[in-house]
Amino acid sequence: MNFSVYEYPRPAVTVDTVVFGLDDDCLKVLLIKRRHAPFAGSWALPGGFIEENEPLECAARRELAEETGLSDIFIEQLYTFGDPGRDPRGHTISVCYYGLVNLSEHEIRGASDASEARWFAVNALPELAFDHDEIIRMALQRLKGKVRYQPIGFELLPQKFTLSQLQRLYEIILEKPLDKRNFRKKILGMDLLIDLNERQQDVAHRAARLYRFDEEKYNLLIKNGLNFEI
């Protein structure tokens, strides 16, 4: 076996990713069941050690693909956690990412170091390995913060969606009911949605109008922010 030798001690470096998915009526997070110690058999975020000369985001994507089969999704750096004691194996720093997917368009499977991969509602999480509960809390906070100054939903909703689905997404993320009329006025006022002149298929009641995001305007708003231009 080859060993790596350094003049000074180095912390280990891992990457972990919080992937959110939107279900009919709740926000879910993707967890894997750990195969190995520490915390063997516990649920945890998909992630693992970065490899030599591997860029951080590549490592996060590699681990996600290896452990859950997910690839080509939106991810963004969240925060780096480095409290000594967060990993029983010793000083370990985790560079964390968060991602968003539309649940209906992505299939997951457990693989490699994970014996199983599964979606859990964010308000009904199992006990988690390491400080992964804290990492998920921060990712949720980031998501809530983002709603205030950027449009969101593009990655979480199906391509065509109704205003009710979009409102539900905001209600789920903000954890509070929103006034329907007020929400519609604001969201349509942002000039972000394209009315597809289509209606839902296969619904029992009155079929609602379908919309999609205007991708160009959406990206512009993400770049420039929504509001408070002083």
Residues that bind a copy of itself (CB under 8 A): 1, 3-13, 49-56, 77, 79-80, 82-84, 91, 93, 95, 145, 147-149, 170, 174, 178, 183, 186-187, 225-230
Strands (E), 47-91: 47-49, 74-81
109/186 with CB nearer a copy of itself:
186
Query: Residue 206 has what DSSP assignment?
Result: P
Count how many Cα atoms sit within 13 Å of the Cα of residue 171 in the half-sphere of its side chain: 17
The crossing angle, in degrees rounded to 10, of helices 163-174 and 180-189 is 100
Pick 70 or 78: Cβ nearer a copy of itself? 78
Residues 6+ positions from 84 with CB-CB distance below 8 Å: 91
- Residue whose CB is less far from a copy of itself, 5 or 124: 5
Residue 116 is a catalytic residue: yes
One-letter amino acid at 224 equals N
Say which residues have a Cβ less than 8 Å from residue 135's Cβ, sequence separation at least 6: 16, 18, 45, 78, 79, 81, 94, 96
- Smallest gap from Cβ 108 to a copy of itself, in A, equals 26
For residue 206, the minimal CB distance to a copy of itself (Å) is 24
Nearest distance in Å: CB 45, a copy of itself: 16
| Residues with Cβ within 8 Å of residue 72, at least 6 apart in sequence | none
Least distance to a copy of itself, CB of residue 202, Å: 29
Catalytic: which of 54, 116, 155, 171?
A: 116
Closer residue to a copy of itself (CB): 43 or 48: 48
The residues carrying an active-site annotation are: 116
